[in-house]
Structure formats: structure tokens, C-alpha cells
Amino acid sequence: MNKVLVSLVALLAATTIVPAAFAQQVASAETSRIVIAPPQSALARTIKAGLSAAYYGARPDTAAQAEAQRLYFLYGERHFEPIWLSQGVDGSVAFSPAAGKIIALFENAAAEGLDPADYLTPSISRDKLNGDGIALATLETAFSAATMRYANHIHSGRIDPQSISPLLDIRPKPIDEAALLERLAASKDPAAILAELEPKHPEFLALKAALASFEQSSAARPTPIGDGPVLRPGNSDARLPAIRSRLNLAASTSKLYDDLTVDAVRAFQEGQGLEVDGIIGPATVAALNGGAATRREDIIANMERWRWMPSDLGDFRVFVNIPEFRLWIERNGQPEYTTRVVVGTTKNQTPIFSDNIRHLVVNPYWNVPSSIIRGEIAPAVLNNPGYTDSHNMDLLYNGSPVSPWQVDWTQVSASNFPFRVRQRPGAGNALGQIKFLFPNKHDVYLHDTPSKSLFSRSFRAFSHGCIRVQNPMEFADALMANEPNISRASLEAMFGSSERWVNPQAQIPVHLAYFTLRVDADGTIRSYGDVYGHNEKLIEALGLHHAADPAIVATAEPVPDELSP
């Protein structure tokens, strides 16, 4: 839209004749839907000339050209008369009542977690009302641009998720801008129409309420607990006085992690659903930084991510929150089942996206991703051809198994490894006894695992990107609640050495999400570690003047590498 306005200003004095290429597109449009009415006033003729010039000045097949065309059609249907400007009998020009109400929204944009400066730009200042026809036409279209910018921000967010990370694979939620402008132009309450665009999820609304109370409160807020080494009983650390204060213990300047503080930490961990071990690691630090210690910028960043989410999450859905290391099945917004999960490491991050669970696979093969083959399996096989047999794996060449003992390994290298690899069903299979498929370009899914020990940890980012489910058969039973012919018992009856595919009648929406703040039903804000750093990058992109805070970026204690998705 900004490119449209640049073209408009630069070429506004151009001929009022619609360019031939534009005329051809207008002529080829569906005549029952698009009517270009002739302008009936000097201001309308100037608006038409400006929109025509903007289209002509835009490069073909670009967003700028498409926006110019949409604006041309919208204004053409109304004789190119202005939407946001009104002219008095004395010839004076003022903002229309609708424009006045939208300006009030722009001024209050901070309450929505937005930046008023994104909309109250110099190009729509009131002093432009005293300009000539060209200036007024520029003002009119600039106001439309600001309004659409606000609409898109409130609906889909200010920041492109892909600019934060390519693993934020989030589908855009486009708005029919022409239809929206038309509704706004005809409405006596444009604010209500724009309010329809914001997310309706209770947690988004709770965060919005928390932002309002944050701005209104003059109470001092605790400073976030800083980053540092994992603290075990008996350690010393400069953060201990602040931690005691956060736990409402008696004030003390001691830097020793004593028994009294350990007991308070254990009680806190139990209340937060963390592993009750008295060890202050990244997950416990993140939890301590919730509640009253929640930062304003965290609230706004999480509101932004809710705007990225699909408008309709589905009545019966699976919701995985990566920083929380937990999964839910929800029906009509209410949780029906929850369990712990293990997600990808910071090196092999679980992508963020929404899809639909289509298949359950019992006794699954594990088709090893090419990245793991190159990085781990190929070097191991080159060193020891018996590696695949010892791990219950097949080498596949052109889709057929081949014996590693029949390969001339002197002709093969890790960078030129011509085989696919799969692990056969069995007790040691990396996917366990069942996987839940929502086919996607990332080759990521939910699955069982034979490695159960990691579920007891508070920090659970240890996979190659797939999501391991702690209680997969309980999850499967809850997931199939709407399927009369599929149950936990029927799935367990399939256990064996042969892969079995089960296809539910209905696809189930699944959302792999990334929220560092969650809001309980009573309004309590819980904080979780920024395991992949997405939150801090978003805060920076939003211009919330905050340098990355290592207290919020979680780091794991080292654990041995394991061959598993």
C-alpha cells in the first residue's frame, strides 16, 4: 500500500485518462461486480487521476499494482467521491465523522498492543485539509492506506512471522480490503467493524486486559530474575536475594542457596506444575518471572502471536505450546486431556504451524530424515557396516532394501550417500508404538518414544524436531473420542511387527504454537522460557526498545545425543 501512495504522490498530476493496460483489466473484470462510475466533482476527478497514475506507475504483477487496482475499483463504484473527507457548503474540507472515529482508534492503538505512530503519520495530519485538490486527494488515499494498515495489524499482526524465523511457517490471513473500506464508508460505527477483526480467543483478550492494567498501574514491578548457572542446593549466587524476595521469604543478603530457600522453591515448583527437585534451572527462572514480574513487552509480543494464529482453531483440536513443553486436546475451548511433550532442540527446532491430523500409524517405520542420515547415520555406517542391523534399520536403494555387506563402501562417502534409511517396527523404534500424522513439508509429527526419562525434566527440548508424547495411548484414546470405530483398545490390539495405518473419519486441527505467556482462567499469568529465542527477536522487531534478556532465554543442561526424531 505504501508503494501505491508513493506512486500517487509522484504521478498525481498525470493525465486523467485511464492507461490502456488498466482499461483492459477493467474491461475484462466481471461487469456484474465492478462498476466504474464517472466522477462528478473536481475532487473526485483528482482522486481518479491519482489512482490511475498510481496504477500506471506500479510495476506489473506487484502488490503495489494490485492495491492500486483495488482502490481504483472501490472509489470507482462511488463516483470517486471521498470516504474520509467531507466538504461544507462554504467549500471547506474536514474529516468525515467516520474518519474522526477511526482517528480516535489510531490514538488509542497502544491499548491494542500496537503503535499509534504506524497510523497517525504526517500524511494524514489535519493541516493537509487546507491543501489544494491534489493534496486533498493524496490525503484521502493516505487515510485509506492507514486504515487498512491498522485493520491488517489488528487482524494479522504487525510483523511478518517469517522475518523472525523461517520455521514460523504461519499462513497469512488476508483481508478483503475493498469490501472492508466499503463497509467502513457506509457505517456510522467504523470502530465496531474494525473490532470484529481482532482475535476472539480468551487468552488474547486476557492479555489485552493485562496490558490495560499494566499501563494503568503505578505499582513498582519486580525486576526479572537474571540468567546464570543452574542452581543446586548449597550453591552460591548473586540472584538468591532477589529469588527469596520473589518467593516472599524474609529479606536476606545471603548468596547461599540454603535449605529454607530450597523448600520454598520446591513448593513453588509444585504449584507451577514443574519438576519438584529444588533445582533452579531455566524453567523455574521463567516461572519466577511470571505474574507481577511479567514485562509489558512480553504481553505485547504474545498478543502479536495470537494475531498470527488462525481465526478458527477448530471446535475439537490439539494445541501444543512449545515453550511449555505440553500438549492439550480441547473441545469448545475447554481442555479435555493434557500430557507432557518433548520438542526439538535449539539446533533442531520444532517448526510453528497449524495443520490437521489425518492418520494414526501403529507399529510405525521410522523413515529417517535426510539431515540425520547425512549427519549421523552415514558416518556411522561407513565406519561400521553392521550399524544398521544393530539398530534394526534397513538401507533402501530405489525403494528396496539392500544388505550393507553387499555394498562396496570404498565407493561411498557421507556427502554422496545414495541410500534412504528406515528403522523397522519394534520395541526400540525411535517412534515407539504409534505416531500421529499431519503430512507437512517439515516432516514433523507427534509420536511415542522408547526414551521416557526426559519427560521428568522441566526443560524438554531434546528431539530432532518431532514432538514426543509422554502418554501416547492415553492421548490416542482422547484424540479418537469422536470416532465410534477407533479406541485405545482397538489400537493396542494392532501392536505387532507390521505397520498398520488408521484413518479417522474426521481430520483434527493441530496447532504447534509458541507462547511464552499463558493466562489461567482466573487471570494469573504464567511465564515460560523463550526456548528458541523467538520471543526476544519479536520484541526487537516490534521496536519495544528491549535488548535480549538472558533471563528469559532458556538453556538446557547438556544431555547425551540420541538418535531419535
Q: What is the mean pLDDT of the chain?
A: 86
Cell numbers 493516505: residue: 142
Of 147, 167, 195, the residue that ends a domain is 195
Q: What pLDDT is recorded for position 547?
A: 44
Residue 347 and residue 261 in one domain: no
pLDDT band at 1 (very low <50, low <70, confident <90, very high): very low
Residue 181 and residue 297 in one domain: no
Q: How far is CA 338 from CA 334, 406, 502, 515, in A?
A: 11, 48, 22, 16
pLDDT band at 100 (very low <50, low <70, confident <90, very high): very high
Mean pLDDT of all residues in 140-162: 94
Residue 479 and residue 512 in one domain: yes
Residue 299 and residue 258 in one domain: no
Is residue 186 one of the residues assigned to a domain? yes
Residue 528 and residue 550 in one domain: yes
Is residue 200 one of the residues assigned to a domain? no
Query: What is the rounded distance in angstroms from the CA atom of residue 501 to the CA atom of residue 520?
Result: 37
More confident: 290 or 40? 40
Residue 546 is a catalytic residue: no
Statement: residue 25 has pLDDT above 70: no
Is residue 35 one of the residues assigned to a domain? yes
Measuring CA to CA, which residue among 371, 374, 367 is closest to residue 424? 367
Is residue 214 one of the residues assigned to a domain? no
Alpha helices in 228-329 (DSSP H): 240-246, 259-272, 282-288, 296-308
Residue 404 and residue 454 in one domain: no
Measuring CA to CA, which residue among 268, 228, 269 is closest to residue 248? 268
Mean pLDDT of all residues in 77-105: 87
Q: What is the CATH number of the domain that holds 492?
A: 2.40.440.10
Statement: residue 10 has pLDDT above 50: no
Statement: residue 389 has pLDDT above 50: yes
Residue 360 and residue 374 in one domain: no
Is residue 509 one of the residues assigned to a domain? yes
Residue 247 and residue 332 in one domain: no
Q: Pick the range with the lowest mean pLDDT from 42-51, 259-268, 368-377.
A: 42-51
pLDDT in tens, 394-425: 999 998 999 999 999 888 888 889 999 999 99
Is residue 71 one of the residues assigned to a domain? yes
Residue 263 and residue 140 in one domain: no
More confident: 438 or 72? 438
Is residue 47 one of the residues assigned to a domain? yes
Residue 466 is a catalytic residue: yes
Residue 255 and residue 345 in one domain: no
Mean pLDDT of all residues in 148-154: 96
The number of beta carbons lying within 10 Å of the beta carbon of residue 299 is 23
* Of 447, 464, 511, 534, catalytic: 447
For the chain, the domain total comes to: 4
Phi, psi of 322 (to 5 degrees): -55, -50
Q: What domain range includes position 265? A: 231-280
Q: What pLDDT is recorded for position 562?
A: 57
Residue 402 and residue 377 in one domain: yes
Over pLDDT 70: what percentage of the chain? 90
Residue 117 and residue 53 in one domain: yes
Is residue 527 one of the residues assigned to a domain? yes
Q: What pLDDT is recorded for position 551?
A: 38
Q: Pick the range with the lowest mean pLDDT from 86-90, 123-127, 533-537, 548-552.
A: 548-552
Exposure on the CB side of residue 156, measured as CA atoms within 13 A: 14
Statement: residue 22 has pLDDT above 90: no
* pTM, two decimal places: 0.82
Of 377, 399, 424, the residue that ends a domain is 424
* Of 155, 391, 464, 466, catalytic: 466
Query: What is the rounded distance in angstroms from the CA atom of residue 191 to the CA atom of residue 490?
Result: 53
